[in-house]
Amino acid sequence: MNTVTHSIVKPLLGWVSLFAGWEILVRLQLWPMWIFPSPQRVLTVLFNLLKTGDLFSAVGVSVQRLAIGFIIAVIIGTLIGLGLARNRNLKQIFGGLILGLQTLPSICWLPLALLWFGLNEKAILFVVVMGAVLSITVAVEGAVRTIPPTYLRVGKMFKLSRFNMYRRIIVPAMLPNFVTGLKQGWAFAWRSLMAGEMLFITAGLGQLLMIGRELNNIAQVMAVMLTIVVLGLAIDVLIFGLVERHLHRQWGFIRR
């Protein structure tokens, strides 16, 4: 019962509180209904989007773009992060530059994406990659640097080659913190994708947001925002959460 309460009931209370507070604000009539629609109105629009299939189509396009851009960012960010963590010269030369670029909002990459690629899929993927790759790089570097030095000394004692050192010691030891960094990179990728899709007319959740804005349909805007939140939560719990808990149990951070 305690496990069920912790995993289902308590998180559900947060959603109930959100919708209850939302309904109270609507009933107070602080704003006109067309500016601040009721939860019922937003859910009605959401169900209509599901019924027509527009929401399923938009989610499919956005998730596909997000997956491609995120995979590219993970590959690039992991390689750069490993290089910075294991090579002091690279860290001294490029470490400050990467930290500085990480503070740059992802929307700042949009003008470059337009000038370099034009109004097409490549521009959106570029923004997604740049929005996630730097945070993944920093996460990978931090994950490697937090590996206990004893592990590395054991590898040297057994005279492991550089490849086997990475395969048998560095990569397994960095995985728990690495997955945590991937969650952060995924969140940045989501934000970057929405910025790219809202830039010009293209299929995706960003387009539905812009259509709602142009039609002055705040209920549709809020319905799409709710969809993005639910999708992000589902991915975090069903993918990253499961992998993270498995790795933490494997490494003894939490009880089985």
- Tell which residue, 150, 155, 179, has the closest CA to residue 167: 155
Tokens describing residue 160: 């492991």
- Specify the CATH superfamily of domain 42-250: MetI-like (1.10.3720.10)
Q: What is the pLDDT of residues 235-244, one digit of tens each?
A: 888 888 788 7
> pLDDT tens across 94-148, in order?
888 888 888 888 888 888 888 888 878 888 899 999 989 988 998 888 888 888 8
pLDDT tens per residue, range 52-63:
988 999 999 999
**CA Rg value for the chain:** 22
Report the b/e string of 181-214 with b at 16+ CB within 10 A. bbbebbbbbbbbbbbbbbbeebebbbbbbbbbee
Q: What is the per-residue pLDDT across 139-158, written as a single tens digit (0 to 9) for each?
A: 888 888 888 888 878 888 88
Asked if residue 138 lies in contact with residue 102, where contact means CB atoms within 8 angstroms, the answer is yes
**3-state class percentages of the chain: helix first, strand second, coil last, to nearest 5:** 85, 0, 15
Taking only the tens place, the pLDDT of each residue in 156-175 is: 888 788 788 878 888 788 88
